[in-house]
Structures are given as C-alpha cells and as structure tokens.
Chain A
C-alpha cells in the first residue's frame, strides 16, 4: 500500500489485530493499546469521509474525537435496540467492522478522486521546546506516581468482619463467616451460642485478607456468635445475633 493510503493500512491493521488479540486472550498491555486505537479509528475515518482536508488543525482533531465518541454511543444503542447484548464481541464487531467498512469506502473514494489522499506534514518543534515538553510529561507522570504511592502508604485502621445471616434457599442453616482485614495475621476464638448457651467454638488463625466460612444449623430461638481476638478473652471483639428457626 502506498504512503498516500498509509492511514487506511494502519487502521485496518489495528482492527484485525484487536480482534486477534481478543481471540487469543492477549495480555492487557497489548489489548490496552489496541483497544484505545480501535476506539479512535472509526472517528478518524468518519472524519476523513465527511470532511477530508476541508478542515485542519485543532478542528480536524476535535471532529475526529467527537465522532469517535459518537460511534459507541449511537452504534451501541442501535445494536441494543436490535436485540444484541453489549458484550466484548459486540463492541469489537462494531468498532472493527465500522473501521474496515470505512477503510473500504475511503479507499474507493480516494481511488476515484473524490477524496484527498493521506498527507501528513509533521511540524518540527525546536529541540529545547521539545525537551521542555518532554520534561513536563515526565514530571507529570512522577506526580501521578507520587499520588498513587500516597494511596498505598496511607494507613487505615484494620478491621475484622463477622457475619451471621440466614442461608438463602436453605432455612435449616445459617451462613457464619469471619474475614480478617487487620493488615496482619490474627488469631481468633469464635463461640456459637444457641438460646444464649454455648453450642460450639472454633479457634481460627487467619492471614490478612483471609476468610473463614461455616454453615451451622439454624435451630434454636436465638443464635448468637461472639468473636474474640486472642489473646483477649474477657470482652468479645465482634458480636452478631439473629432469631433462629425455633426448632430445638
């Protein structure tokens, strides 16, 4: 393909690669780049089809960007109205299909002399300005990095979740669970009471982020659970209670 059709070749390649990357479950680093390009491609091509070289500069970029945003909005709506669910394959089909269709139409229009060929005359930025803009980008990236590091470094008080809920679809049991978010491994003692009398106990050691589940019977008028964080056994750390099924 000649340089005058380089944009068509590039967009068609992006469309094909985006579909291929999805088919082989390529890593996110690859699909992210292709995904952004395939979202932008139809807008660029529609802009070329509508206006070609009639508009330029910022206006040309703005129109292409606006059309790129219009495509998933209006295209998605039309597909949904036609009964198609909006999953990955649908979006890829819409964006890649429209890209390839626009490529073909634009190629035909250019070959028949109805549209201007692709031309790109990059402006040369003086080196010191280019370096300054590059530095600005690098500093901005550092700024976002520092902000993200702040989120990682921010200290939150740890906590432990304890829950006791009736099982959905099984009235004979309840869901009992503990999740450790203390930021470190913790040891617990869990005491189950039926009608305020001990009916079972467990000693747990949970790593940070680890969850523990059981589904004890819902028998008894009142089921309550006390969670102690060891070594403290004088006062319960967490407490939950619900009415049982009533059966003994």
Chain B
C-alpha cells in the first residue's frame, strides 16, 4: 500500500468518527446491537490497517513519515478513549485520581486521605500537574486531566520510538516495535487514562533515553546535562507511581548486566549509576513518604507467589478459569499469545546473529523472556488476567522490540523472495496482535459500547442517579463515612461522595435476615451506612461479581433476591435516610 501519511491520517480520523458514531448509537439504546458493534470495529479497521500496512509496505517510509504515523495512531486511539466518556471521567481508575486531584485543589495540601485509593495521595505527581494546570488555566479537572494524560501518553510513545530507533538503528524497526507495543491490551486504556501510571511512563522512558545517551559515548560535553535530565526524571518517576519506580532500577540493572556480559564496561557504568540512584530514590520515598506501599502491593505479591508455589509443587493453583468473553475474542487472545511466543525466539535468533555485541539489544532479549512468565501468570494465578495485563505495560516494551526484530526479518525475507504471501502474512500477524489488544483490553466486551446502566458494569454503572446519590452523601453526611456498597456504586461513592466504602461487605446483601452476627460484624467494621441499589435484584452482574470482594464471584446464576436487599426496612433501629427509587441508604444503629 502506497498511501501517503496524510491520507492515513484522514483515514484514522474517519475511523475515530465512525467509532464515535458507534458510541453514540450505544448511548441511544443500541449498545447490544450487532451493527453498532460492527461500526466500532469498522472504525478500528480504518485506524489500524492503513497505518500497519504502510509501515510494512515495500516502499520504505522516511524517518519523518514513520514518526508521523506513530503519532497519528497514538492520537487516534486516544481520541477513541475520549469519545467513550467525553463529558466526565467514568473509568473507575480515573475516578480515584479525580478524587485525589479534587482534594489537592480544595485544600492546597498533598497527601490528603483518598478512601478509594489510599495509596494514590502518597504518589502525588499526577495530582500536582493536573491541579497546577486546572488552577492556572481555569479549566475543569476533567479537561485538565485529559490534557495531561494525552501529553504524557504521546510523550511516552514518542520517547519509546526514539529509544527503539536508537537501539535498533532503524526507524522502520522502531515504528513496527511501537505498533507491536500498542497491541498490549492496556495500551489504549490503563496506559493512557488519567491515572498515575500514565504520567510515570514517559519519565521512565526519558530516564532510559538519558541512560542510552550517557552510555553511548557520543555526547562529549553533554554528560552533565543528560545526567541532570536523568536525575529530574528519576525523581519525577519516584513521586508519581510506585511500580514504575521499581521497574526503572530493574531495567537499568539488566542493561548493566547485559553490558558486562557483552564485555562493554563503559556501557555498563552509566546504567549502573542510574540504577543505584533510582533504587535509592525509590527506597527513600518508600520509607519516608509512602510506607503504605508495601501493604498495598503485598496482597498481589503474596497471591502470585502462593499460586506459583502451588503450581510448582504439582498441585492446583487457586486460579479460577480466566475471564471469559465471546469465543472469537478468546480465540484471538490465544492466537496472539501463540504468535508472540513464536516470534520471540525468531527475534532472539536475530539478536544472536546480528546484535549480540550490543548491550541494550541483549538486555531487551533478556527482559523479553518475562513474556512467558506473564503468560504463566495469566493462566495460573488468581486474578492472573489483571496482573498479567498490568505487568504487560512494562513487559511488552522489550517484547515488542524483539518481536519487531522478528517481523522485520520476516518482512525482509518477503521482499527478497518477492513473496507477497509472506508479506501479507506478516501484516495479518501484526494486525491480529493489535486487534487482540482491543478485543481483550478495556473496556471489556460487555461494555465495549457505552450505554444504559448495567449492574456491576464498571463504567456503565456510573449514571446520574448513582452520581447524585453519592454527591448527596457528601453534602448531607460529610466525607469519610464507612459505607457498604455494591461493585458498581463503590467507585462513585468513594469519588463523587468522598466516602469510605468498604470492600468486604457481601454478607450484608446475601441473606434475608440481618442477623446478630451480621450486626457484630458490621460494628467491628465500624460501618455506618448501607447503600442498597434495588437493581441488584433485577439482573446478573456484568463483571461477574456484585461486590468488591465477592465470595460468589463468577458463580451467580440468578440475581440477588429482593428480600435480601429489602430486609433493612424491617430491622428495628435501622434508619432509612435516603430514597431515590433505585437507591436507598440505611443508617445502622449504634453508630
């Protein structure tokens, strides 16, 4: 395909327009219709196919064209995300950071309590930049947040492209690597949302770019400048996101080891220095400002270690079946895993043949092996899909680069052999990876199009009655009350309501009587209010669970009985303090 990049930009814009039309159709009552779903996919085809085809075409692009293509693709997918919720934040993770930012704006203080995500105020980078922009511009937190997230996401992709270009020496490989990276299932969602990781990623990438420049030895007289940049970006990473600040020294350490393995001591020195600096900064921040981080991350770490131990011991891991979805999506997901798993060894072979003396490429090869760990985690660990998805943001950086080397090699074969079939197959493989990222990413299939309220529907549970109910709690009851709430209302109550919704409250909604043991348990949790949404008795939970911690997750065959939800009306001493039709709030006695 010989389309100019400007024409590809028009195609991508039309794709965004078609997706926006599909979203609007969903909002107007067609969220479950096949044609609206098809329109969504048609829009994605218009965005992705011309860009991928142009990058892999026989007529090689210029460096500027490749860069423009990468930017067009990133901006187009970001606009798709904006079109999903263009008037206010609705993604649960975004609501958490919206609350933290509002707290900074309202109080002028950092480290204020955020009941929904208590760790977020301890890493205030995103909230600082957003509140700075909102303060000086007069724009809303929503608009300011979108601007900051857009700049951060685009910056991350651009620096990633620069890194890939420097390491490979080829802007074409860099372009393909960025496309491969964009196929990770979180690229269009959790890597570009208004959340702290989105902002930390470009700092991580800039630090790696500074390390590359420092180690390359071609910057006589500029070392101090790149070192200064690295110091600033390390500091910014550390105060912005915990996991990214831990990934950074690990990556630098592996680069150091790779440099030593390849006998290049000079290339090892600067990454080693930066690894030490970033380790010290992360540890210092952990101890001095964010000691809660360990208790926040520990459950994830424990769960992973336990499941892997059980698996290695020959027993069964505690993992439930991995998340379902339409068979087509699952098939695409499985095919993508197989494709990446097969392409990585081809890429490693290329590294061995052509790049085994290059420390950074060797480091990428070493780190890309973590892809297989990710697949194992996804298949064996409880909540493995989520863990694997979150880890993919980092694991996919080296994996995408090695896969791009493999794809570049195969595309080269296609050109040499004049084999159109091979060229087409390479393009199909790349597109399968990218569509898998969309099909099995976020939002999930049951809310791919925005639409009417869904029980436990994540973004589709964020609707006016829930939002106004949450706002009422803040106005009438004040902030920080301990609440019981369902999975869908939980993030709205914690953000718009600034309440303290507890996670382990399923027992309050799953029996027809409010027993003495329930009373004692509620008192032990210091619960003050119970938020009851009667729609829980009308349909099954879209997410598979009705409550944030739900012992029966994935096992429901009928909606909750209405009697289990209404029982508080008959309990002496329980006040029924709020009624908006679907939502009733009860005040428990003795609080």
* One of B102-110, B348-356, B440-448 at the interface: B102-110
Are A146 and B17 in touch, CB under 8 angstroms?
A: yes
Shortest Cβ gap from B579 to chain A (Å): 4
Q: Does A129 contact B (CB under 8 A)?
A: yes
Give the docked Cα–Cα distance between A88 and B139 (Å).
12
Are B577 and A165 in touch, CB under 8 angstroms?
A: yes
Q: Does A102 contact B (CB under 8 A)?
A: no
Are B465 and A132 in touch, CB under 8 angstroms?
A: no
Q: Does A91 contact B (CB under 8 A)?
A: yes
Residues of A within 8 A of B14 (CB): 139
Shortest Cβ gap from B91 to chain A (Å): 15
Are B135 and A62 in touch, CB under 8 angstroms?
A: no
Main secondary structure of the interface of A (DSSP, over half): helix
Query: Can you offer 9 A-B residue contacts whose CB atoms are under 8 A?
Result: A38-B136, A62-B159, A67-B232, A85-B109, A136-B12, A239-B579, A241-B575, A242-B575, A242-B576
Known: A147-B24, A181-B468. A74 touches B236 (CB 8 A): yes
* One of A3-11, A26-34, A186-194, A199-207 at the interface: A26-34
Give the docked Cα–Cα distance between A165 and B79 (Å).
44
Residues of B within 8 A of A63 (CB): 206, 229
From B9, B159, B225, give the contact of A132 (CB < 8 A): B9
Residues of B within 8 A of A151 (CB): 27, 86-87
Residues of B within 8 A of A138 (CB): 13
Q: Does B308 contact A (CB under 8 A)?
A: no
Are B137 and A140 in touch, CB under 8 angstroms?
A: no
* One of B121-129, B256-264, B400-408 at the interface: B121-129
Q: Which residues of B contact A (CB under 8 A)?
A: 4-7, 9-10, 12-14, 16-17, 19-21, 23-24, 26-29, 67, 72, 75-76, 79, 82-84, 86-87, 104, 107-110, 124-125, 128-129, 131-133, 135-139, 147-148, 151-152, 155, 158-159, 161-162, 199, 202-203, 206, 209, 219, 222, 225, 228-229, 232-233, 235-236, 239-240, 450, 453, 463-465, 468-469, 472, 476-478, 573, 575-582, 587
Q: Does A87 contact B (CB under 8 A)?
A: yes
Residues 204-248 of A, flagged 1 when their CB comes within 8 A of B and 0 if not, give 000000000000000000000001000000000011111100000
Residues of B within 8 A of A72 (CB): 128-129, 132-133
Residues of A within 8 A of B577 (CB): 163-165, 240, 242
Are A241 and B206 in touch, CB under 8 angstroms?
A: no
Known: A72-B129, A133-B9. A62 touches B206 (CB 8 A): yes
Q: Does A175 contact B (CB under 8 A)?
A: yes
Q: Does A128 contact B (CB under 8 A)?
A: yes
Shortest Cβ gap from B10 to chain A (Å): 5
Residues of A within 8 A of B453 (CB): 156
Give the residues from 76 to 132 in chain A that come closer than 8 angstroms, CB to CB, to chain B: 76-77, 80, 85-88, 90-92, 94-95, 128-130, 132
Are A62 and B137 in touch, CB under 8 angstroms?
A: no
Give the docked Cα–Cα distance between A130 and B6 (Å).
8
